[in-house]
C-alpha cells in the first residue's frame, strides 16, 4: 500500500501544480482530458485486467452526461442534485450488469460478442440522442446549465476533476491488491480454470464491466459540468474509439496508463489536428504499432524505468488461522453413472456408461487412447453435455450443469494439460485456490484473504522435493511443464474437495517426480478420506495407487475390479496394452 500512497501523492502534486506552472486556461484544457482519462481507466480495468474489450463506453459517458444536464437544468438544491447524480452512477453500473448478464451468462469466451454488442449499443445511443429532440435537444444538444454548486468552469471546477482523478486512481490501485482484483486478472488469463475453482465467471466479468460503466458515468457527469453542453457526439462511436486508442497507447495494464494516454494523446490531438493535416493518420499508425509491438503501452516503458524508485511488491504471507472452512458435505461421495451417453455432432463418445464408484478410495480409469476417459470426467464437471442417462452424487443430478457448480458440489478437477493462471505468480495461483469454496462475497475485499493458507497446503509446500517452494513469486508461465502439474494439483486440493478428478497427473514427470506425485495423491486421499477418480496410462502407477480400476473401451465400461482382477481379465488383455514409465 505504500506504493499507492507514493504514486497518488505524486499525481496529486503534479495535477495541483498545473494551474501554477501554466495558467488556469491550460488547466481547464487539461481538465477535459483528465475527465476522458477517468473513462479510459475504466476501459483499462476491463480490457487490461478482465481481458474484455468494450467498444461502447461512450454510451455510459453520454447517458450520464445527458442525465447530469437534465438534473442541473431542472432540479434545485445541491443536496438533491448530488443524490440524483449518485443515482445516475448506480444506474450506469446496473445497466452494465444487465447487459453483461445477457452476454456472459452461460457462455465462456464471449469477448468478441461483447465488443460487437457494445459497439452496436453505442451506435444506437448516438442515433437516439440525435433524434429524441424533446429530451436531448437533438443535434444541438442540451446547454444553458451551470456547474454543480456554481463552481467556476475555468477555475474551481478543475480541483473537482483532480479530486475525481485521484479517487479513481486510488480505488483502482487498491482494487488491484484485493482478492476481487486478483479474480478479475484470473478471468482474463484462464476462465475455464476459474470456473473449475467454483467461480461464476459471468459475475466476475459483469462486475468489471459495471465498474468501468460507473467510471465512464462519473466522467460523463464531470464532462457536462466542464463543457456546459452535451451533444450526441458525447455518446457516440468516435469518442468510444478514441477512449480505446488512448487506453491502448497509454497502457491498459497500469492504472495510470489510460490517464497518461488520454491527456497526452488527447491533448496533442486537439492541438495538432488543425495544424498537422496527417495527425489522424499518425495516430492510427501509433495505435497499430502499440498493439503489435508494445501491448503494455507507454505506461510499461515508464514503469520499467520508475520501478526501482517504488517500494518492492510485498510477497504474500500465508497463515492458516481464522480461515473459513470449505463446508463441503462430509456424507457419501460415490458417483453414480446410469446409462450415460455423450455425443459431439455425429461422434458417439460415451455409449451408455453404467458404473457406481466406491464411496472412498482411489479409482483408476484406464483404457486405450480415445476410449472416452477424459470425456467421462468432462461429463461430470459440465465440459460436455450429456445427451442420455444421468450422473448423480448423493442422489443429486450433477450432469449438464455449468462448470462452476462442480466445485460447489465438492468436486475438484485437474485437467489433462496442466491448467493454471500463467500470468499470475505461483503464490497468486494458490491464493485463488484457497478462496475457492471458502470466500464469502465480503472476503473478496479483504486484503488478508489473499494470505489464506491451510495445514494441507503448508504440508504439501514443505514436502521434501516439492518443486514450488522456491518459486512462489515467479509467474506460473516461467514454470516447467512438470512443475505446473504440481501447481495445478496444489490448487485443486487447496479447496479440499471430497471428490477429486485427476486427469493424467503424472504425464510429463520424471520418475522421481512421478513418485512424489503418487505419494501426494495418496496422502491427500488418506487425509480427506475422499474419493479420487484418476486417469492413468502407466500400469505401474495404477498398481501402486488404485483401490479399484475401471476400464473404458469405445465409450463403455469394459471391466471393473481390483488391479489384480483387471490384469487377469482376458477381455481387458485383449484391448488394453499399458506401458510403464
Ligand atoms: N468435443 C468433442 N468433439 C468431437 N469429438 C470429441 C470431443 N471430445 C472428445 N471427442 C472424441 O471422443 C473420443 C474420446 O476422447 P477422450 O479424450 O475422452 O478419450 P481418452 O480416453 O481420454 O483418450 P486419451 O487417453 O488419448 O486422452 C475421441 O475420439 C475424441 O476425439
pLDDT one-digit tens code per residue, 496-527: 899 999 999 998 889 999 999 999 999 999 98
Cα of 367 vs centre of ligand 1, distance in Å, is 12
C-alpha of residue 375 to centroid of ligand 1, in Å? 6
At residue 294, does pLDDT exceed 90? no
If one residue of 372, 533, 551, 576 were mutated to test the ligand 1 pocket, choosing by the most ligand atoms within 8 A of its CB, it would be: 372
pLDDT per residue as tens digits for the range 126-150: 999 999 988 988 898 999 898 888 8
Q: Whose CA is nearest to atom 28 of ligand 1?
A: 370
Q: What is the whole-number distance in angstroms between the Cα of residue 374 and the centre of ligand 1?
A: 7
Which atom of ligand 1 lies nearest, measured to the CA of 372?
A: 18
Q: Measure 343 CA to ligand 1 centroid, in angstroms.
A: 10
Nearest CA to ligand 1 atom 6: 344
Confidence of residue 579 (pLDDT cuts 50, 70, 90): very low
Rg (Cα) of the chain, in Å, rounded?
28
pLDDT reading at 197 higher than 80 = yes
Residue nearest to atom 13 of ligand 1 (CA): 370
pLDDT in tens, 370-379: 889 999 999 9
Return the pLDDT at 126: 92
- 81-95, 302-316, 439-453 — which one is most confidently predicted on average? 81-95
Pocket of ligand 1 (CB under 6 A): 344, 347, 349, 367, 369-375
Q: In angstroms, rounded to a whole number, what is the distance separating the alpha carbons of residues 242 and 437? A: 41
Is the confidence at residue 172, as pLDDT, over 50? yes
pTM for the structure as a whole: 0.89
Contact 48, 253 (CB under 8 A): yes
Q: For a substitution probing ligand 1, which of 347, 369, 504 has the most ligand atoms within 8 Å of its CB? A: 347
Name the residue with the closest Cα to ligand 1, atom 5.
344
499: CB partners within 8 A, 6+ apart: 333, 335, 393, 409, 410, 411, 412, 530, 531, 532, 533
With CA atoms as reference, report the closest residue to 36 among 243, 209, 233.
Answer: 243
Least confident of 296-305, 338-347, 556-565: 296-305
- Spell out the CATH class of 335-575: alpha beta
Question: By alpha-carbon position, which residue is closest to atom 30 of ligand 1?
Answer: 370
In this structure, what DSSP letter does residue 444 have? Answer: G
- Which ligand 1 atom sits closest to the C-alpha of 375? 18
Q: Kindly state the percentage of the chain with pLDDT values over 90.
A: 56
CA 412-415-419 angle, to 5 degrees, is 100
Q: Where are the domains of the chain?
A: 2-235, 335-575
Q: 416 near 503, Cβ under 8 Å? A: yes
At 280, the pLDDT band (50, 70, 90 cuts) reads confident
Amino acid at each position: 500500500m505504500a506504493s499507492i500512497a507514493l504514486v497518488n501523492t505524486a499525481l496529486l502534486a503534479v495535477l495541483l501544480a498545473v494551474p501554477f506552472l501554466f495558467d488556469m486556461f491550460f488547466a481547464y484544457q487539461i481538465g477535459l482530458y483528465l475527465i476522458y482519462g477517468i473513462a479510459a481507466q475504466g476501459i483499462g480495468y476491463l480490457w487490461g485486467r478482465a481481458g474484455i474489450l468494450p467498444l461502447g463506453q461512450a454510451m455510459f459517458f453520454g447517458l450520464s452526461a445527458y442525465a447530469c444536464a437534465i438534473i442541473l437544468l431542472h432540479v434545485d438544491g445541491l443536496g438533491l442534485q448530488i443524490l440524483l447524480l449518485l443515482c445516475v452512477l448506480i444506474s450506469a453500473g446496473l445497466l452494465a450488469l444487465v447487459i453483461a448478464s445477457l452476454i456472459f451468462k452461460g457462455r465462456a469466451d464471449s469477448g468478441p460478442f461483447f465488443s460487437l454488442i457494445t459497439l452496436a449499443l453505442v451506435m444506437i445511443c448516438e442515433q437516439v440522442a440525435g433524434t429524441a429532440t424533446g429530451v436531448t435537444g437533438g443535434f444541438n444538444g442540451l446547454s444553458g446549465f451551470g456547474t454543480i454548486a456554481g463552481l467556476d468552469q475555468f477555475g474551481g471546477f478543475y480541483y473537482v476533476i483532480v479530486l475525481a482523478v485521484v479517487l479513481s486512481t486510488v480505488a483502482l490501485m487498491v482494487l488491484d491488491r484485493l482478492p476481487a482484483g486478483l479474480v478479475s486478472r484470473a478471468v482474463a488469463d484462464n476462465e475455464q480454470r476459474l470456473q473449475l475453482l467454483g467461480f461464476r465467471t459471468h459475475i466476475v466479468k459483469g462486475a468489471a464491466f459495471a465498474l468501468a460503466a460507473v467510471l465512464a458515468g462519473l466522467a460523463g457527469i464531470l464532462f457536462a459540468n466542464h463543457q456546459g453542453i452535451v451533444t450526441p457526439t458525447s455518446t457516440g462511436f468516435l469518442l468510444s474509439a478514441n477512449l480505446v486508442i488512448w487506453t491502448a497507447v497509454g497502457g491498459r495494464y497500469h492504472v495510470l496508463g489510460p490517464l497518461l494516454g488520454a491527456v497526452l494523446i488527447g491533448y496533442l490531438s486537439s492541438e495538432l489536428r488543425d495544424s498537422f493535416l496527417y495527425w489522424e493518420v499518425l495516430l492510427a499508425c501509433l495505435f497499430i504499432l502499440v498493439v503489435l509491438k508494445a501491448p503494455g503501452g507507454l505506461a510499461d516503458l515508464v514503469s520499467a524505468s520508475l520501478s526501482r524508485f517504488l517500494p518492492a511488491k510485498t510477497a504474500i504471507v500465508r497463515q492458516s488461522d481464522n480461515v473459513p472452512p470449505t463446508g463441503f458435505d462430509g456424507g457419501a461421495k460415490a458417483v453414480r453413472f446410469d446409462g450415460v451417453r455423450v455425443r459431439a455432432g455425429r461422434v458417439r463418445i460415451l455409449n451408455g456408461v453404467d458404473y457406481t464408484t466406491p464411496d472412498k478410495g482411489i479409482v483408476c480409469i484406464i483404457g486405450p487412447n480415445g476410449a472416452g476417459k477424459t470425456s467421462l470426467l468432462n461429463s461430470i464437471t459440465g465440459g460436455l453435455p450429456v445427451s442420455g442417462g444421468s450422473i448423480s452424487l448423493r442422489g443429486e443430478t450433477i450432469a449438464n450443469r455449468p462448470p462452476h457448480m462442480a466445485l460447489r458440489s465438492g468436486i475438484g478437477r485437474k485437467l489433462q494439460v496442466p491448467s493454471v493462471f500463467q500470468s499470475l505468480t505461483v503464490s497468486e495461483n494458490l491464493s485463488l485456490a484457497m478462496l475457492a469454496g471458502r470466500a464469502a462475497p465480503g472476503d473478496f475485499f479483504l486484503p488478508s484473504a489473499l494470505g489464506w493458507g491451510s495445514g494441507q497446503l503448508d504440508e504439501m509446500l514443505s514436502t521434501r522435493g516439492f518443486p514450488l517452494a522456491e518459486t512462489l513469486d515467479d509467474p506460473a508461465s516461467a514454470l516447467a511443464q512438470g512443475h505446473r502439474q504440481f501447481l495445478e494439483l496444489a490448487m485443486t486440493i487447496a479447496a479440499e474437495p471430497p471428490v477429486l478428478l485427476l486427469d493424467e497427473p503424472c504425464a510429463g514427470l520424471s520418475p522421481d517426480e512421478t513418485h512424489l506425485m503418487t505419494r501426494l495423491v495418496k496422502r491427500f486421499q488418506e487425509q480427506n478420506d475422499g474419493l479420487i477418480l484418476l486417469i492413468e496410462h502407466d500400469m505401474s502407477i495404477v498398481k501402486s495407487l488404485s483401490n479399484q480400476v475401471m476400464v473404458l473401451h469405445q465409450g463403455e465400461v469394459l471391466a471393473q475390479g481390483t488391479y489384480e482382477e483387471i490384469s487377469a481379465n482376458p477381455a481387458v488383455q485383449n484391448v488394453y496394452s499399458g506401458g510403464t514409465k
